[in-house]
Amino acid sequence: MDGHLNTKLLGVGSTKGTHFAVTTLLEAIAPNSIQTGKIGVSHAYSILLQKGNQQVIVDGGPSSGKMVDQLGDKLPFWDRNIELLVLTHPDADHITGLVEVMQRYKVEKVLTSGQETDSDIYREWCKLIDEKGIELIIAEVGQEIIMKDGIQLTVLHPQETPVEGATTDLNNNSVVLQLEYGNFSLLLTGDIGEEAEERLVNGNTRLKSTVLKVAHHGSNSSTTPEFLTGVDPLFAAISAGADNKFGHPTNEVIDRIEKVVVEDGLYVTSEDGAIEFITNGEKLWVQTRR
């Protein structure tokens, strides 16, 4: 990225207290296959949750080198400790970057959906957890992970009975987390589709959140009007590569979201670059960098 920085201050309340940062670590850069001659395009995301010397990483993107390089830019050189890694589901574009994080950093705990795949990268993931003695937590609805300084993560999904539907079962049974810190809340949705969203809405799950990390890169198979009504976000963030072959995010999803969020409250990595939400639990700053 070449240094174009944009910061906005939103919300009301005291500015006292320490800040908590939520960063879209991998900004989902996708080369244009026509311009570069490449057959495929890549788009994925990784999210870094940071407060003081506490770090939580949610998913790792498809590139181990890029993930570790950007993580090195965010953390002080002496801090080699990651309190929690979350793998929402074991698709390659979510797990690959986390493998090198486990190789290069001291990871205390790993939270997963419990789903397995027959892939080399997943086998390496399991091997590292075993060899390094990392505590493995299988996500269950209602689990609460309490961190220092009032940070709470609550598991909303997957549920005991797996979701099956038009979108893949791996996607639909992604880990869904709600992070709460003071008056700020963030909903992380993995790659769930409309079937999982329907179950969350019908289950009277507490979905309302300040910020929604939009599922599955803005695919039309996710982010239904009913789900958006339940979440009622002020802001939303989509991780999608520029000119990706899937057409993400779709115009339909963008239209749905813009009807719900505040004016200019939708951020897309292909347009805005890396997105950072910074809050002290009362005020919220949004910073983008390309």
Q: What is the pLDDT of residue 198?
A: 95
Q: State yes or no: pLDDT of 164 exceeds 80.
A: no
Q: Which of 5-9, 82-86, 108-112, 276-280 has the lowest mean pLDDT?
A: 5-9
Q: What is the pLDDT of residue 32?
A: 25
pLDDT higher at 219 or 15: 219
- By CB neighbour count within 10 A (0-12 exposed, 13-18 middle, 19+ buried), where does 62 fall? buried
Query: Is the CB of residue 155 less than 8 Å from the CB of residue 175?
Result: yes
Q: State yes or no: pLDDT of 290 exceeds 60.
A: yes
* Beta strand ranges found along the chain (DSSP E): 5-10, 20-26, 46-51, 54-58, 81-87, 106-112, 135-138, 144-146, 152-157, 176-181, 184-188, 211-213, 235-238, 266-268, 274-279, 284-289
pLDDT digit string, tens, across residues 53-111: 888 999 988 876 778 888 888 888 888 999 999 999 999 888 999 999 999 999 999 99
**Cis bond leading into 158, ω under 30°?**
yes
Q: How far is CA 29 from CA 43, 113, 174, 242, 249, in A?
A: 6, 26, 23, 6, 14
Instruction: Tell me the pTM.
Output: 0.85
Q: What is the pLDDT of residue 34?
A: 13
Q: What is the largest CA-CA distance in the chain?
A: 52
Confidence of residue 270 (pLDDT cuts 50, 70, 90): confident
Q: What average pLDDT does the segment 247-272 reach? A: 89
pLDDT digit string, tens, across residues 116-139: 999 999 999 999 999 999 999 999
Q: State yes or no: pLDDT of 244 exceeds 70.
A: no
pLDDT digit string, tens, across residues 136-159: 999 999 999 988 878 899 999 998
pLDDT digit string, tens, across residues 12-39: 333 334 566 776 554 433 322 111 111 1
Distance CA 153, CA 150 (A): 10
Q: What is the pLDDT of residue 273?
A: 81
Q: What is the pLDDT of residue 83?
A: 95
Q: What average pLDDT does the segment 4-8 reach? A: 62
pLDDT digit string, tens, across residues 168-218: 588 899 999 999 998 999 999 999 999 999 999 998 778 999 999 999 767
Set out the domains of the chain in order of their start, with CATH numbers: 5-289 (3.60.15.10)
Residue with tokens 């939103």: 10
Question: Tokens at residue 39, please?
Answer: 């057959």
